[in-house]
């Protein structure tokens, strides 16, 4: 995967070679291309074009990385998954164009693999959903009374749209039947929603003494996720004195907020919410053709959604 991405990002332009090499090397869990390839295995292998599938898998990773590079500009994150981010290494300015360049290479791979098919538009509109989700989340900053429905709408865009795309086009380009494609679409979305809720829960480490860095950042930046929203909905008066400080909230006060989130069952309720979406996904996975790949998909779904926290 990284080899293909690296090849696509190579350029005779020496000025930007280093930067592009860094973009190609960024390592993630390759979740989205992984789900894509798994779902493609549910199709008719006789009809499959291995090179095409591999390229589409890479396109999903490129779209994901491009959006991460732009996210990091906004979050001002020096680290992501322990790796120095493009913006910390090359500066905010370069990161803007580097993300743009990855979007372009993403489109080039789509044009190469699916020009003329309706999946061109499906990719573009998924990218649009992703961006609108990010913008909505930004707009909801410091809104203590954001509802869980609004939160869900945002994560459907910013996270689930890409999971949904990966699973749907996996089944489609793997030449699966219509029923499987429809199931893949729902499974992808529900896994995506559950994945994001768990990601948000992970920030509220069970041990509030070792608070995760993201939660400190999220709260001081006004990004309130489901554990906090659930708890604050029950006892708004206890959270208000802290959250009303907005950006000027201290680390000590954030620890207090995290304690309150646990005390009022915010983490517990968020886990239940995630569980609902996991169960929806599992019910649909049960409807897939029961082949070896389906067992793998079920395992991955469960692993992703039962991470330690």
Residues that bind a copy of itself (CB under 8 A): 11, 13, 15-16, 19, 70, 73-74, 92-94, 96-101, 103-105, 107-108, 111-112, 115-116, 120-121, 124-125, 127-128, 131-132, 134-136, 138-140
DSSP 69-131: HHHHHHHT-SEETTEEPHHHHH-HHHHHHHHHHHHHHHHHHHHHHHTTSTHHHHHHHHHHHHH
Residue showing tokens 């164009």 = 97
Output the smallest distance, CB 183 to a copy of itself, in A.
26
Closest to a copy of itself by CB, 106 vs 195, is 106
Task: Report in angstroms how near the CB of residue 110 gets to a copy of itself at its nearest.
Answer: 9
- For the bound state, the minimum distance from the C-beta of residue 158 to a copy of itself, rounded and expressed in Å, comes to 10
Question: How many angstroms separate the CA atoms of 160 and 91, rounded?
Answer: 29
- Return the number of the residue (41 or 59) whose C-beta is nearest a copy of itself: 59
For the chain, the first-to-last Cα distance in angstroms comes to 30
Any idea which residue has 């309706």 for tokens? 118
Nearer to a copy of itself by C-beta: 99 or 170?
99
- Categorise residue 62: left if φ over 0, alpha if ψ from -120 to 50, beta otherwise: alpha
Please give the Cα distance from 74 to 104 (Å, whole number).
20
Q: From the centroid of its chain, how far is CA 138?
A: 16
- Residue 149: CB minimum distance to a copy of itself, A: 14
When the beta carbons of 30 and 132 are compared against a copy of itself, the nearer one is 132
Q: For the CB of residue 73, give the shortest distance to a copy of itself in the complex, in Å.
A: 6
Least Å from the CB of residue 160 to a copy of itself: 16
Q: Which is nearer to a copy of itself, 15 or 210 (CB)?
A: 15
**Closer of 18 and 244 to a copy of itself (Cβ):** 18
């Amino acid at each position: 995967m990284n080899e293909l991405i690296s090849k696509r990002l190579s350029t005779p332009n020496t000025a930007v070679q280093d930067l592009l090499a860094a973009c190609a090397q960024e390592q993630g869990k390759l979740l989205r291309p992984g789900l894509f390839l798994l779902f493609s295995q549910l199709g008719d292998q006789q009809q499959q074009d291995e090179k095409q599938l591999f390229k589409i898998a890479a396109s999903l990773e490129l779209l994901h990385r491009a959006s991460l590079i732009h996210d990091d500009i906004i979050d001002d994150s020096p680290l992501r998954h322990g790796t120095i981010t493009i913006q910390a290494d090359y500066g905010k300015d370069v990161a803007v164009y580097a993300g743009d360049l990855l979007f372009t290479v993403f489109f080039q791979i789509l044009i190469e693999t699916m020009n003329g098919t309706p999946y061109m538009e499906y990719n573009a509109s998924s990218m649009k959903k992703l961006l609108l989700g990010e913008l909505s989340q930004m707009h909801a900053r410091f809104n203590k009374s954001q509802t869980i429905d609004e939160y869900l709408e945002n994560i459907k865009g910013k996270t689930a749209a890409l999971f949904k795309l990966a699973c749907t086009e996996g089944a489609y380009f793997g030449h699966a039947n219509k029923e499987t494609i429809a199931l893949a679409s729902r499974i992808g979305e529900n896994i995506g929603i559950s994945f994001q809720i768990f990601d948000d829960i992970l920030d509220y480490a069970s041990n509030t003494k070792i608070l995760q860095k993201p939660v400190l950042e999220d709260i001081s930046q006004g990004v309130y996720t489901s554990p906090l929203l659930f708890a604050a909905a029950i006892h708004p008066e206890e959270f208000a004195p802290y959250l009303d400080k907005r950006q000027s909230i201290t680390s000590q006060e954030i620890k207090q907020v995290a304690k309150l989130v646990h005390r009022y069952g915010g983490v517990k309720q968020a886990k239940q919410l995630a569980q609902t979406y996991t169960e929806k996904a599992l019910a649909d996975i049960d409807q897939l053709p029961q082949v070896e790949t389906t067992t793998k998909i079920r395992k991955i779904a469960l692993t992703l959604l039962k991470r330690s926290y």
